[in-house]
């Protein structure tokens, strides 16, 4: 793994984190029905974690000599509470897979500190995914 490839991969992760911030913010606004207050709070509570991830990634990209992206990946369209939760679950699961791979790449790159930080981000994202899975478990279709 060379430096430019690492920067490129970290920028992909940063674009996903920027998308997650937008996703959680807009889904909080779009939640409806009797669980709106709880869903709004749940979605908004995730934003600070995603912001911390984005800040770490941007800082690391700059430290490696790169330019952090300011363009998020596309946010999944969702119109119902269930669709929003399913989209969030898919994004968190993808982030878990992505950061697991990125931690391996960081290890190969020789940056143990980055590998450890990315593994911590795996823990965060997988925890978010588990929470959404629990919410969806008895959610009406």
Nearest to 102 by CA among 87, 90, 116, 89: 116
Domain count within the chain? 1
CA distances from 106 to 101, 113, 115 (A): 9, 8, 5
The CATH number that applies at residue 32 is: 1.20.1260.10
For every one of its 141 residues, what pLDDT tens digit does the chain have, with 9 covering 90 and above?
Answer: 899 999 999 999 999 999 999 999 999 999 999 999 999 999 999 999 999 999 999 999 999 999 999 999 999 999 999 999 999 999 999 999 999 999 999 999 999 999 999 999 999 999 999 999 999 998 887
Are the beta carbons of 114 and 10 closer than 8 angstroms?
no
The whole domain housing 100 covers: 3-137
């Amino acid at each position: 793994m060379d430096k430019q490839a690492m920067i490129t991969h970290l920028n992909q992760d940063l674009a996903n984190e920027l998308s997650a911030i937008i996703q959680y913010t807009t889904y909080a606004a779009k939640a409806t029905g009797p669980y709106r207050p709880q869903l709004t709070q749940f979605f908004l509570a995730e934003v600070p974690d995603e912001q911390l991830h984005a800040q770490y990634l941007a800082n690391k990209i700059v430290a490696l000599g790169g330019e952090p992206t300011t363009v998020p990946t596309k946010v999944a369209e969702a119109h119902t509470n269930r669709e929003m939760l399913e989209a969030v679950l898919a994004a968190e699961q993808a982030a878990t897979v992505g950061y697991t791979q990125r931690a391996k790449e960081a290890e190969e790159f020789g940056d143990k500190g980055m590998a450890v930080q990315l593994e911590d981000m795996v823990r965060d994202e997988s925890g978010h995914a588990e929470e959404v899975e629990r919410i969806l478990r008895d959610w009406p279709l």
